[in-house]
């Protein structure tokens, strides 16, 4: 009996048992999109949402859009360090450029004009994560939104 014939049942058994545990939905299902728009107003930074609730281990894409307004061009810093640290990061996209992170991390994302930056991730720890948004032209102008992971 050849070694391939002897190991085929063993390999099939291991693949059957390990398949569901090793599967990652990123290759099969798209992430759920979460959108947050930020714009400058006379009163400070306006955000389209104040809170988002996610499920630990599910696959998401956070879309951060910097939008121009009558008050001026956006120059915002999104401090997502804690959320990024407690997540398995997959893809960071700026305009049409995709960076495959495969778990690497970043501390903050910054826009210096109109545009969108997005990243896909699996939140791995439950908790509340506050994303601080700072106006780069005036550090005293801030806003925040909360990401709750259940």
Longest CA–CA span in the chain (Å) reads: 80
Tokens of 90: 């997959």
CB contact set of 19 (below 8 Å; sequence gap of 6+)? none
Bridge partners of 147, per DSSP, are: 52, 129
Q: Which of 24-28, 35-39, 135-139 has the highest mean pLDDT?
A: 35-39
Distance separating alpha carbons of residues 66 and 18, to the nearest angstrom: 43
pLDDT of residue 2: 52
Judge contact between 81 and 108, C-beta under 8 A: yes
Sign of the alpha-carbon dihedral angle for 58, 92, 127, 23: positive
Per-residue pLDDT reduced to its tens digit, 107-137: 899 998 999 999 999 999 999 999 999 999 8
Per-residue pLDDT reduced to its tens digit, 4-27: 444 444 334 434 443 333 334 545
* Exposure string over 110-121, b if 16+ CB within 10 A, otherwise e: ebeeeeebbbbb
Per-residue pLDDT reduced to its tens digit, 56-112: 999 999 999 999 988 888 999 999 999 999 999 999 998 888 999 876 788 899 998
Domains of the chain: 25-149 (2.60.40.420)
Distance separating alpha carbons of residues 72 and 46, to the nearest angstrom: 12
Prediction pTM value: 0.77
48: left (phi over 0), alpha (psi -120 to 50) or beta: alpha
Distance separating alpha carbons of residues 89 and 122, to the nearest angstrom: 7
Distance separating alpha carbons of residues 40 and 102, to the nearest angstrom: 33
């Amino acid at each position: 009996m050849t070694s391939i014939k002897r190991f085929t049942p063993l390999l099939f058994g291991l693949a059957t048992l390990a398949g569901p545990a090793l599967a990652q939905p990123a290759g099969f299902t798209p992430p759920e999109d979460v959108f947050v728009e930020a714009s400058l107003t006379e009163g400070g930074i306006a955000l389209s949402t104040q809170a988002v609730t996610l499920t630990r281990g599910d696959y998401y894409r956070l879309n951060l859009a910097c939008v121009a307004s009558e008050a001026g061009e956006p120059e915002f810093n999104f401090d997502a360090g804690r959320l990024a640290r407690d997540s398995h990061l997959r893809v960071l996209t700026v305009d049409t450029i995709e960076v495959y992170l495969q778990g690497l991390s970043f501390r903050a994302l910054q826009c210096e004009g109109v545009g969108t930056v997005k990243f896909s991730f699996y939140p791995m720890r439950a908790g509340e994560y506050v994303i601080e948004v700072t106006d780069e032209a005036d550090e005293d102008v801030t806003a925040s939104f909360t990401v709750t992971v259940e």
